[in-house]
Amino acid sequence: MAISSFSQLALRPELLQRLADLNYVLPTAVQAISLQPALAGEDLVVKGKTGSGKTLAFTLALLNKLRCDATHVQALVLCPTRELAEQVSVEIKQVAALIANVRVLTLCGGMPIGAQVSALKQGAHIVVGTPGRVEEHLLNGALMLSEVDTLVLDEADQMLDMGFMETLDSILVYLPPNRQNLMFSATYPEKIMQAAKHFMASPQLLEANEQPSHSNIKQIFYKLDNNKMRLNALRVLLAQHQPQSCIVFCNTKVETKRLFSELQQTGLACVELHGDLDQGEREWSLLSFANKSANILVATDVAARGLDVEAVDLVVSYHLALEPQTHVHRIGRTGRGEHKGLAVSLFGEKEMFKVEQLQSLFQHPLEQGKLPSHTLLDRPAYKPNMVTLMIAGGKQQKLRKGDIVGCLTGEEGISVKQIGKINIYDVQTFVAVKREAVKPALRKLNQSRIKNKRFKAMRA
């Protein structure tokens, strides 16, 4: 039975209060069907599209039964990529804020292993990680999972696509047999069910009954006479709409890289996301896109899948996706919730059959647009409203968001409305501010003391 309110659940008071604080008023469709059996300890395979709130579903299940007085690892969450693991970790910590002393540890590749081993020695209640690095810690004896109550496989379809099945199998050996298993996935291919059999005896299969209506997403298709027009068609559409937040999807890594550098040369504020970036580069791309100091994210479908970016103003298919389902995922990035979204797609004669496939999927004729005039390109490229500033201090210097906001809004400072996202790392902090506030913000940051210390700040 689906629930209609969080209060129908036997949740601990700290969690109910926290949901209210976070303004999570109603459960999403995925949460409505999965929370009750998840809290009851059942094994589940849950399907829900990207952005449907799967993270909160398992987060509540884990936290509700967590015993903080115990020191062993009680839950293991496996994610396909570092970014997803980081995001899940952040969400768990956020929801756990009112429960005292919850220790969440992220174990991902690309980070120094020594620091993770030391952190493990301090104890952790919940471990979130990527399969490779978790296995490594199991093999060298730093991680003990023999008393785990709950195993979560997040974005399981992607994990299988990335060939993690064998690693998962070898991790399973370290877990006790009497545990709860929760598997979450955006799609439901046959191999998910086969994989599920490795983990659980007779899981319940749950699927959120939400036909994405996409009624608040306007789609326009632009036919190109030849491939050489593609770049300029995109540029002219960007100049027309001037989106503060736009994802341009490419079908391949090679094309993603090329398009990124072409757009960058035209002066547009863009970043790239694909499998060839190193950890630092990916984080930078995501940070500047999320805080809106970069307007355009050029990405492959795989790299962008599952990432929790707020609704974007515009989604562009530079080439039509190979599969209709991928197209649906792409356009679902815009027009979330109440917002109106816009998705534009470029296609050539050879891609006509894909348009027809989509036509039968959406069951209505697709709107074909006429490209705006090229004179739009005579003007200089538009600029982002936000600019990222870097402060040479972070968690190690005990900097908190409140300190930064306090400093910026102090005497002769800037207004709260001019401050955007703040990301605090170990020894660095990034804060986005409105373009017109850059000068006073830098003056404030460089001339004031925070926590009785001076920190250097500059444009990132």
CA angle 47, 52, 54 (to 5 degrees): 65
The residue among 159 and 442 lying less far from Mg ion, judged by its C-beta, is 159
The residue among 54 and 330 lying less far from Mg ion, judged by its C-beta, is 54
The residue among 32 and 408 lying less far from ligand ADP, judged by its C-beta, is 32
The residue among 53 and 324 lying less far from ligand ADP, judged by its C-beta, is 53
Q: Which does 56 bind (CB under 5 to 8 A by kind): Mg ion, ligand ADP, none?
A: ligand ADP
Is 73 in contact with 102 (CB distance < 8 Å)?
no
223: number of Cβ within 10 Å:
18
**Least distance CB 2 / ligand ADP (angstroms):** 13
Q: Which does 53 bind (CB under 5 to 8 A by kind): ligand ADP, Mg ion, none?
A: ligand ADP
Q: Which does 52 bind (CB under 5 to 8 A by kind): ligand ADP, Mg ion, none?
A: ligand ADP
The residue among 52 and 244 lying less far from ligand ADP, judged by its C-beta, is 52
Is 451 in contact with 399 (CB distance < 8 Å)?
yes
d(CA 288, CA 267): 16
Q: Which does 314 bind (CB under 5 to 8 A by kind): Mg ion, ligand ADP, none?
A: none
**Least distance CB 82 / ligand ADP (angstroms):** 15
**Least distance CB 348 / ligand ADP (angstroms):** 32
Which of 48-69 are b and which e, b meaning 16 or more Cβ less than 10 Å from the residue's Cβ?
A: bbbbbbbbbbbbbbbbbebeee
Residue 285, Cα to own-chain centre: how many angstroms?
12
* Total residues binding Mg ion (CB under 5 A): 1
d(CA 340, CA 312): 10
399: number of Cβ within 10 Å:
23
Find the binding residues for Mg ion in span 42-101 (CB under 5 A). Answer: 54
Q: Which residues bind ligand ADP (CB under 6 A)?
A: 24, 26-28, 31, 48, 50-56, 306, 308
By CB neighbour count within 10 A (0-12 exposed, 13-18 middle, 19+ buried), where does 337 fall?
Answer: exposed
Specify the pairing of strand 204-207 against strand 457-459. Answer: unpaired
- What residue number has its CB nearest to Mg ion? 54
Identify the H or E element spanning 282: helix 279-290
Q: Which does 77 bind (CB under 5 to 8 A by kind): Mg ion, ligand ADP, none?
A: none
From residue 8, alpha-carbon distances to 11, 36, 64, 130, 209 in Å are: 9, 9, 14, 33, 20
The residue among 281 and 308 lying less far from ligand ADP, judged by its C-beta, is 308
**Least distance CB 84 / Mg ion (angstroms):** 7
Beta bridge partners of residue 181, listed in sequence order: 151
**Least distance CB 306 / Mg ion (angstroms):** 5
DSSP string, 113-172: HHHHHHHHHT--SEEEE-HHHHHHHHHTT----TT--EEEETTHHHHHHTT-HHHHHHHH
**Least distance CB 212 / Mg ion (angstroms):** 16
**Least distance CB 24 / ligand ADP (angstroms):** 4
**Least distance CB 54 / Mg ion (angstroms):** 5
Residue ranges in contact with Mg ion by CB under 5 A: 54
